[in-house]
Amino acid sequence: MLHAAGHPWSVTFSFGLWGAKLATLIGVNVSSWDYWQLSYPAVALENSLLADPTTVSNLGIILGALIASALSGNFSNQIKIDKKLFFAAMIGGFFMGYGARLAFGCNIGALFSGIASGSIHGWVWFLFAFIGSYFGVKCRKFFY
């Protein structure tokens, strides 16, 4: 990914970009926000989503998961969702996504790429991820 994108592997940048593109479509001027005036985000906001390597990578991951699921025979068009698990997934997904954007990366961008590039922030991220995981496991009993 470093060679193709020009930066270490990342995942969550595209989610913010998708949200910013959607907000722009409904009339919100996100290009005036400080974050979207930084050089890389500003260029990504102006270009097509398919010009963003993180978006293309994420779409490839999603498509690959769907293909693998279909080939294994586990893909189903019937939806059976337990309401408590759905609620737990929504809460967990929100906190994980919010935390990933605050940390400028998820376990891929902040942990894996951070440690691989020799940055202390990767190890700090690991410490807080470990603490968060501990409490997350303790909260599981409320959803089963």
Q: What is the pLDDT of residues 125-134, one digit of tens each?
A: 889 889 988 9
Task: Work out the angle at residue 93's Cα, subtended by the Cα atoms of residues 118 and 5, and round it to the nearest 5 degrees.
Answer: 40
Q: Which residues contact 67 (CB under 8 A, 6 or more apart)?
A: none
pLDDT exceeds 70 at position 2:
no
pLDDT tens digits, one per residue of 38-89: 998 999 999 999 999 989 989 999 999 989 988 998 777 777 788 888 888 8
Q: Of 78, 106, 136, which one is at a domain's C-terminal end? A: 78
- Two structure tokens written together for 94: 């929100």
Q: What is the pLDDT of residues 12-42, one digit of tens each?
A: 888 889 999 999 999 999 999 999 999 989 9
Both 20 and 56 in one domain: the answer is yes
Residues 16 and 63 in one domain: yes
Q: Are residue 52 and residue 11 in the same domain, yes or no?
A: yes
Show the domain range for 132. Answer: 81-144
Check whether residue 70 and residue 7 sit in a common domain: yes
- 60, 78, 96 — which closes off a domain? 78
Note whether 53 and 91 are same-domain residues: no
**pLDDT value of position 23:** 97
Number of domains in the chain: 2
Say what the pLDDT of residue 55 is: 93
Are residues 13 and 68 located together in one domain of the fold?
A: yes
Q: Which of these three, 43, 78, 113, is where a domain ends?
A: 78
Same domain, 32 and 47: yes
131-144, pLDDT tens digit by residue? Answer: 988 998 998 888 76
- Spatial neighbors of 99 by CB under 8 A, at least 6 apart, are 132
Please tell me whether residues 1 and 69 are part of one structural domain: yes
